[in-house]
Chain A
Amino acid sequence: MTTPRGPQPFAGQEKRLRLLAFVRQDSIVRVDKRVEDTAMVWPHLLVIEFIASMLWSIGLFVIAAAFNAPLQDHATPDCTPNPSKAPWYLLNLQELLLHMDKGLAGVIVPTVWLTFMAVIPYIDTSREGVGIWFTSANGKRITIFAAVYATVLTFSLILLDAFLKRPEDQGGFGYIEKATRYLPGGKQLFPNYIIPIVLMIGLSVLLVLIVKRLYAANTREWMIAIYTGFVAVYLVLTVVGTSMRGPGMDLFAPWAVPATHQCLEPKA
Chain B
Amino acid sequence: MLEIPAQIWQKTKTSYIWRSLFRHGYPDSRKNQSLAVFTNVFLHLHPVKVRRHALAIPYTWCMGGLSFFLFLILTLTGTLLMFYYHPSVDGVYNAYGDIKDLETVVVFGQLLRNMHRWAAHGMVITVFLHMIRVFYTGSYKPPREFNWVIGTLLFFFTILLSYTGYLLPWDQLAFWAVTVGYEIARATPVIGDEFAFVAFGGFQLGPNALLRFYVLHVVGLPLLTGFLIAIHFWRIRKDGGITGPL
Binding partners A and B: yes
Which residues on A are within 8 Å of B, measured CB to CB? 3, 5-8, 10-13, 20-21, 25-26, 29-30, 33, 37-46, 48-49, 52-53, 56-57, 60-61, 63-65, 67-77, 79-81, 84-90, 93-94, 97, 101-103, 105-108, 114, 117-122, 124-135, 143, 220, 224, 227, 231, 262
Please determine whether B114 and A69 come into contact, CB atoms closer than 8 angstroms: yes
If A114-B152, A126-B141 touch, whether A87 touches B65 (CB-CB below 8 Å) is no
A-B contact pairs, 25 of them (CB 8 A): A10-B24, A41-B50, A45-B54, A53-B69, A56-B66, A56-B70, A61-B115, A68-B110, A75-B89, A75-B174, A76-B175, A86-B181, A87-B162, A97-B184, A106-B184, A107-B188, A108-B189, A117-B152, A120-B135, A120-B140, A121-B142, A121-B145, A121-B148, A128-B138, A129-B141
Can you name 12 extra interface pairs (CB under 8 A) apart from A45-B54, A71-B99?
A60-B115, A84-B177, A89-B159, A102-B183, A105-B184, A106-B183, A107-B185, A107-B189, A121-B146, A124-B140, A131-B246, A227-B135
B85 within 8 A of A: no
Instruction: Verify A48–B57 contact, CB threshold 8 A.
Output: yes
Taking a contact as CB atoms closer than 8 A, the residue among A41, A72, A93 that contacts B171 in the complex is A72
Which residues of A sit under 8 angstroms from B30, Cβ to Cβ? 6-7, 40
**A42 near B27: Cβ-Cβ < 8 Å:** yes
**A75-B36 contact given A38-B51, A131-B245, A132-B138, CB 8 Å threshold:** no
A135 CA to B201 CA, complexed, in Å: 48
Query: How far in angstroms is the closest Cβ of chain B from A247?
Result: 13
Q: How far is the CA of A91 from the CA of B27 in the complex (A)?
A: 49
Interface residues in chain B, defined as those with a beta carbon under 8 Å from any beta carbon in chain A = 13-14, 19, 24-25, 27-38, 43, 46-55, 57, 59, 62, 65-66, 69-70, 73, 89, 96, 99-100, 103, 110-111, 113-119, 121-122, 124, 132, 135-142, 144-146, 148-149, 152-153, 156, 159, 162-163, 166, 169-177, 179-181, 183-185, 187-189, 192, 204-205, 238, 240-241, 243-246
Contact yes or no, A64 B69, CB < 8 A? no
Using CB atoms, name the residue of chain A closest to B156: A114
* Complex-state Cα separation, A143 to B135, whole angstroms: 12
B244 near A131: Cβ-Cβ < 8 Å: yes
Q: Check B43 against A42 for contact (C-beta < 8 Å).
A: yes
Which residues of the partner chain B approach A21 to less than 8 Å between Cβ atoms? 31, 34-35
What's the minimum C-beta distance from B46 to chain A, rounded to whole angstroms? 5
A52-B141 in contact (CB<8A):
no
Query: How far apart sit A194 and B245, CA to CA, in the bound complex (Å)?
Result: 44
Chain B residue numbers with a CB within 8 Å of A20 are: 38
- Chain A contacts for B65, CB-based, 8 A: 49, 52
Nearest A residue to B152 via CB reads A118
